[in-house]
Amino acid sequence: MPTISINLKDFAQLLGRPASDNRPVTAEQLEAWLPLVKGELKDQDAETGELRIELQDSNRPDLWSCEGIARQIRIKLEGAAPAYPFFQAAKDQKRRVQVAPGLERVRPYLAACVANGYPVTEEALTQLIQVQEKLADIFGRKRHTVSIGLYRLPAIVFPVTYDLVKPDEVRFTPLGFEEKMSLREILAVHPKGLEYGPIIAGHERVPILHDAEGQVLSLPPIINSREIGEVRVGDQALFVEVTGTDLLMVLLTLNIMAVNLADRGASIEPVDVVYPEATDLGKTIRTPVDFGQARSIPIKMIEAALGQALSADQIRKALLDYGYDASVSRDNVSVKLPPYRNDLMHAVDVVEDVAISRGYSDFSPVMPSQFTVGSLSRVEQVSDRLRDLMVGIGFQEIISNIMASRPELIDRMRLAGTEWDRIVEVENAMTQTFSCLRQAITPSLLKVEAASSRSFYPHRLFEVGEVALFDPTNDAGSRTVMKLGALIAHASANFSEAHSCLDLLLYYLDCPYQLEPLAHPSFLEGRAGRILSQGRPLGLIGELHPEVLEHWQVTMPSVVFELEVDRLGER
Amino acid sequence: MNMTALIDSLHPLEIKVLTALKAEQAKAPSGSLRDDEISQHASLEASQVSMAIGWLLAKSLIRVQHETVTLFVSLTKIGERYFEKYSPVERILSAVRDAGQTGKRLTIQDIQSREGLDASEMSGAIGSLKKEGAIRIVSGGCVEATGSPSPTAESLRTLLQQLRGTKRELTALVEPLRRVVEQHAVKRGNANEPFRIDDHVDRWYVLTPEGECAADLLAQQGPSEEVSQLTPELLKDGSWRTKRFRKYTISLRPPRVLAGKRHPYREFLDLVKHKLVSMGFEEMRGSLVENEFWNMDALYMPQFHPARAIHDVYFVKEPTHARGIDEPFLSQVAAVHRDGGKTGSTGWGYAYDQERARRLVLRSQGTAVSARTLASGPKVPGKYFSIARCFRYDAVDATHACDFFQVEGIVLGPDINFRTLLGLLNLFAVEMAQAKESRFLPAYFPFTEPSVELHVRHPKLNWIELGGAGLFRPEVTLPLGVDVPVIAWGLGLDRMAMVALGIHDIRDLFSTNLDLIRTTRGRF
């Protein structure tokens, strides 16, 4: 979900309502239109007119620029899509990019075009750089699948070659540096080389873009040449190129760049990209290219999904208002996305666009009418009973994080190296504090006890919550179990008090039990037991070992018991 | 204060003290009693008398007639040590005398190190012995006994013996002893002395005119005994009829009671849970550790989705992978990702990695539970919810927790469509947020289309996003064997909970501060 900055004046201009227009565009007005692009106004600077907008739809990269947002809204206001005649360009383009063999193993695809006759303004340059970054970073997965280069056209002599060279063969001056460097040096020294170099690492030869006279345009997807690849305010003719690993994504990205420039007044001239072998779209691809295909969708399907009767014309109108090419027959609507979109996977995608185009407020809510019975799961029912009983016995409920640390769960409990020391651990922990899933409730309660020595005593704490038990026999290597843990802490807390509470609790649950002596490192020897019900282990009870209390810096005698709630729920 | 009301409010201890003083006054008009005498006459403990005297003084029913101050002498810790190990004066004198007999010559430093005395003790003791003429300093800084006695040393020994384990009135000591005591008593700036002088104040109390009046009234009221506590005995033998019950001052703060209590956040979650059940939702539960298949793949999130990276989800260290994924779900989901399978979708168009599908993660979204439910033959029509603990790779701060509850679920049925989705959200707005105003905005979730955000006007927070919802994509439902439309919904309730609980830091929802947990009360 990218967040972009746009300038309100620039937006108004692109919308066809410059400052001279008698219908000025305000930030409030823009905000009212934002549902059309799934945008949310994050903040604004009233003085400069800068607005920050978050765009939610990760499948709509065409909206990640001022041009894109303005376009979608303009279509709705004008009821017609803009014409982009360059997608139907005549054959035989004078400008050509030759793709060298071998690139199919490194970074196979390229698309390019020329934007002429529009002197780049400061605001346009800001947007060009922003959209280039957002597309390459988010849509292009940090330039892995897609990256974009912009160049000053007059410096380039066609045909251009998308070539493969050895890193020491070629030298050029990269952006941000003063002198010529070899490709190897750029990869080793330049900040962009260090950041994006790994994308093309592991190949003997690396991609390079150079013109007919051998001038380097760029080292894709890393860095442009300082001489040709630095666009400045006032430049009137640009060369735009996109390289990447996925043909359709590369083509789509170029289409977006092309329509954005066209919306600003540039005349787009296609470029022929010639591959050594045939691609899915042939050996020569004239880019930008409209590769979208029409799909036929039953009107009934749209009506059923929306829950509203719509005429064929209403559907067609909604789609045209949203930039589609649409025509209807009696039962079906034939739709085609504009060339800057490629997010139609299923008919439901069209359904949503119909709804957005008409406005969600156009659909009156209807309550689902079918009868269903509400209920709680068995384990939740038992948990609720346990909570009620524990509260009645005088315990304060605690709710804790399930994530904890190994020192808390194992070391402080004196369990390291024992049969109890396996827990679920996280591979990519951000901090040690939250790097494991708790296997017991007692450490959570001790955490509260340790932080609350100044709170009025006695302390009687409990938590009914989930834990993860390490269990190699389970498919996921662990089991999620609901446990009750209780802790009593005060100057004379002892086994007998905890036993009384446990006894009362299990009496009300109608669960006969016995205690069996247990040697467990967390407890004082001879003062701990396993709770058994009909021969099956149900939990533990005991006086915590003074060393455990010391580890937690708890200075009150503490006694605990834990029960597996799932086992109490068995009927 | 009205005298009758005053009398009614008297504590039994106060009455006993008043009565004792009244009796003494009857013997002699100016008859007064010392507090220990009161305690004898009224047969009360000293502490009870002191409490009652405090109350009666505050009510001006008695006053202090006169008081005397007596000084007592006792040994300090140092004094006790001197008794056992002798004082520096005694030790120096005896050391010097011993040396004189054997012809040894001792310097001050020799004595100090031999006796282990510190410099201040040395100089004080040498000073007073020299002044008395019991020792002299000769050439070479050596100390000699003169043969004269040391009155100080003798007095000290007498006092240490007499005061050991007891205390005596200062005036009872004979003059030379008293002077030694005064010289060697603990004072401000000199704590290292063997004696302590404490003053003890004796006070004599008499009734004030109001006190006399009260005592007279008490006498008239006769023998009917006043009691403070109704007891089983009083009830059994009916003797309560002859008793008067002391009236309480009920405006005082009561003593503190500790209660067993649900956690304040639990009270909120229970409310949510019961609302959902009352709306016909059935609870579903899942596992904290999930595999990527159910956590993400089944929800049509492509394996290259940015939110699946190492910096968004927690991966389990061991084992790293689940053993297997149930068929036919694995094949069907794989097909949908690849080319849409039989769903009419184009799919994501990439090579689906079945190994990746088995990778174990900490559940990052409650929707994983919904996916499992869809695959397990859910009821149609059916409504399900879960309040599931989820884990996100986020730096923990006031607005981000490492694990948190997500409230979400699904609604399945042949009548489900975009408008019933809006209807359900309207119901949530009213039931969950008591919202009078709500609005729907287009939204994006990888697994729903169309997708909606529900915004409501909250009485305190103005417009807030209450939840997100949508119709599950066919790419989600069909591979899991569900062929009716399904609403997926999720509610973001933590901000509402924080407002209801009056807290500002999301970490306080799982606070470890017992005082905070005990005192937080929800306003639901």
CATH number at residue A484: 3.30.930.10
Tell me the mean pLDDT in the region B11-19: 86
Yes or no, beta carbons of B452 and A368 under 8 Å apart = no
CA–CA dist A263, A124 (Å, integer) = 11
For residue A375, the tally of other CB atoms under 10 A from its CB is 13
The verdict on residue A289 lying in a domain is: no
Q: Which residues of A touch B478 (CB under 8 A)?
A: none
Task: Return the pLDDT at B222.
Answer: 66
Q: Is-same-fold flag (B3-67+202-221; B266-519)?
A: no
Band the pLDDT of A20: cuts 50, 70, 90.
confident
Yes or no, beta carbons of A379 and B260 under 8 Å apart = no
Task: Return the pLDDT at B96.
Answer: 84
Nearest to A189 by CA among A203, A205, A176: A176
Query: Is the pLDDT assigned to residue A19 strictly greater than 80?
Result: no
Condensed to tens digits (0 to 9), the pLDDT of residues B373-394 reads 999 999 999 999 999 999 999 8
Question: Are A262 and A130 contained in the same domain?
Answer: yes
Query: Is the pLDDT assigned to residue A259 strictly greater than 60?
Result: yes
Residue among A344, A352, A370 minimizing CB distance to B381: A370
Nearest to B93 by CA among B155, B24, B174: B155
Question: Are A337 and A398 contained in the same domain?
Answer: no
Tell me the mean pLDDT in the region A109-133: 94
Query: Is the pLDDT assigned to residue A300 strictly greater than 70?
Result: yes
CA–CA dist A240, A148 (Å, integer) = 7
Question: Are A181 and A316 contained in the same domain?
Answer: no
CA–CA dist A555, A557 (Å, integer) = 7
Q: Nearest 5°: phi and psi at B288?
A: -65, -35
Strand B462-472 vs strand B486-491: parallel, antiparallel, or unpaired?
A: antiparallel
Question: Are A150 and A17 contained in the same domain?
Answer: no
Q: Which residues of A touch B389 (CB under 8 A)?
A: 402, 466
User: What does pTM read for this prediction?
Assistant: 0.80
Yes or no, beta carbons of B345 and A346 under 8 Å apart = yes
Domain CATH code at residue A178: 3.50.40.10
Least confident interval from A69-83, A297-311, B63-77, B140-154? B140-154
Tell me the mean pLDDT in the region A490-519: 96
Q: Which residues of B touch A358 (CB under 8 A)?
A: none
Last residue in a domain, options A359, A392, A414: A359
Least confident interval from A430-434, A567-571, B159-163, B326-330? A567-571
Tell me the mean pLDDT in the region A25-51: 91
Tell me the mean pLDDT in the region B366-372: 96
Question: Are A194 and A131 contained in the same domain?
Answer: yes
Report the percent of chain A where pLDDT is more than 90: 91
Q: Which residues of A touch B420 (CB under 8 A)?
A: 307, 365-368
Task: Return the pLDDT at A225.
Answer: 94
Yes or no, beta carbons of A392 and B439 under 8 Å apart = no
Query: Is the pLDDT assigned to residue A514 strictly greater than 60?
Result: yes
Residue among B414, B485, B510 minimizing CB distance to A399: B510
Query: Is the pLDDT assigned to residue A477 strictly greater than 90?
Result: yes
Last residue in a domain, options A283, A314, A340: A283
Task: Return the pLDDT at B440.
Answer: 96
Task: Return the pLDDT at B86.
Answer: 86
**Mean predicted lDDT score pLDDT of chain B:** 88
Residue to substitute from B444, B472, B494, interface A, most A β-carbons within 10 A: B444
Q: Which residues of B touch A403 (CB under 8 A)?
A: 391, 402-403
Question: Are A462 and A491 contained in the same domain?
Answer: yes
Condensed to tens digits (0 to 9), the pLDDT of residues B29-49 reads 777 888 888 888 888 898 889
The verdict on residue A370 lying in a domain is: no
The verdict on residue A447 lying in a domain is: yes
Nearest to A11 by CA among A136, A124, A153: A124
Question: Are A194 and A333 contained in the same domain?
Answer: no
DSSP element (H, E) containing A349: helix A347-358
Task: Return the pLDDT at B100.
Answer: 80
Least confident interval from A8-17, A401-410, B137-146, B320-329? B137-146
Report the gap between the CA of B251 and the closest CA in chain A (Å). Answer: 24
Tell me the mean pLDDT in the region A163-176: 94
Q: Nearest 5°: phi and psi at A321?
A: -65, -10
Domain B77-193 class in CATH:
mainly alpha
Least confident interval from A122-126, B6-10, B126-130? B6-10
Report the gap between the CA of A319 and the closest CA in chain B (Å). Answer: 15
Query: Is the pLDDT assigned to residue B28 strictly greater than 80?
Result: no
Task: Return the pLDDT at B31.
Answer: 77
Residue pairs spanning A and B at CB distance below 8 A: 277
Beta strands in A288-408 (DSSP E): 295-298, 325-328, 332-336, 396-397, 403-404
Exposed / middle / buried, residue B478 (Cβ in 10 Å: 0-12, 13-18, 19+): buried
Strand A50-55 vs strand A39-45: parallel, antiparallel, or unpaired?
A: antiparallel
The residue extents of the domains of chain B are 3-67+202-221, 77-193, 266-519
How does DSSP assign B88-139, residue by residue? HHHHHHHHHHHHHHHT--EEHHHHHHHHT--HHHHHHHHHHHHHHTSEEEEG
Range of the domain at A413: 378-568
Task: Return the pLDDT at B460.
Answer: 76
Task: Return the pLDDT at B223.
Answer: 58
Task: Return the pLDDT at B314.
Answer: 95
Question: Are A321 and A404 contained in the same domain?
Answer: no
Yes or no, beta carbons of B419 and A472 under 8 Å apart = no
Report the percent of chain B where pLDDT is more than 70: 99
Torsion of CA B505, B507, B509, B514, to 10 degrees: -100
Query: Is the pLDDT assigned to residue A163 strictly greater than 70?
Result: yes
Contacts of B29 (CB under 8 A, 6+ apart): none
Question: Are A120 and A62 contained in the same domain?
Answer: no
Tell me the mean pLDDT in the region A14-22: 80
Question: Are A317 and A344 contained in the same domain?
Answer: yes
Which of the pair, B477 or B304, is modelled with greater confidence?
Answer: B477
Tell me the mean pLDDT in the region B143-164: 84
Domain spanning B266-519 has what CATH number? 3.30.930.10
Yes or no, beta carbons of B419 and A364 under 8 Å apart = yes
Report the gap between the CA of B480 and the closest CA in chain A (Å). Answer: 17
Q: Which residues of A touch B444 (CB under 8 A)?
A: 1, 38, 56-59
Task: Return the pLDDT at B387.
Answer: 96
Task: Return the pLDDT at B144.
Answer: 82
Query: Is the pLDDT assigned to residue B325 strictly greater than 60?
Result: yes
Q: How many domains is chain A built from?
A: 4
Query: Is the pLDDT assigned to residue A471 strictly greater than 60?
Result: yes
Least confident interval from A233-237, A288-292, B210-214? B210-214
Query: Is the pLDDT assigned to residue B159 strictly greater than 60?
Result: yes
Residue to substitute from B304, B419, B464, B483, interface A, most A β-carbons within 10 A: B419
Query: Is the pLDDT assigned to residue A80 strictly greater than 70?
Result: yes
The verdict on residue A365 lying in a domain is: no
CA–CA dist B285, B372 (Å, integer) = 9
Report the gap between the CA of A391 and the closest CA in chain B (Å). Answer: 4
Query: Is the pLDDT assigned to residue B149 strictly greater than 70?
Result: yes
Task: Return the pLDDT at B336.
Answer: 97
Tell me the mean pLDDT in the region A7-27: 85
Paired strand residues for A461: A396, A487
Q: What is the 3-state secondary structure (H, E, C) of A74-92?
A: HHHHHCCCCCCHHHHCCCC
Question: Are A429 and A353 contained in the same domain?
Answer: no
Domain spanning B3-67+202-221 has what CATH number? 1.10.10.10
* Six-digit token string for B250: 């009920």
DSSP 3-state of B302: coil
Query: Is the pLDDT assigned to residue B121 strictly greater than 90?
Result: no
Q: Which amino acid is at B28?
A: A
Tell me the mean pLDDT in the region B195-212: 88
Task: Return the pLDDT at B108.
Answer: 82
Query: Is the pLDDT assigned to residue B225 strictly greater than 70?
Result: no
The verdict on residue A386 lying in a domain is: yes
Tell me the mean pLDDT in the region A157-163: 95
Task: Return the pLDDT at B455.
Answer: 93
Query: Is the pLDDT assigned to residue B163 strictly greater than 70?
Result: yes
Task: Return the pLDDT at A506.
Answer: 96
Residue among A38, A377, A425 minimizing CB distance to B318: A425
Tell me the mean pLDDT in the region A119-136: 94
Task: Return the pLDDT at B189.
Answer: 67
Question: Are A419 and A548 contained in the same domain?
Answer: yes
Query: Is the pLDDT assigned to residue B1 strictly greater than 60?
Result: no
Report the gap between the CA of A412 and the closest CA in chain B (Å). Answer: 17
Last residue in a domain, options A283, A314, A330: A283
Query: Is the pLDDT assigned to residue B358 strictly greater than 80?
Result: yes
Domain CATH code at residue A346: 3.30.56.10
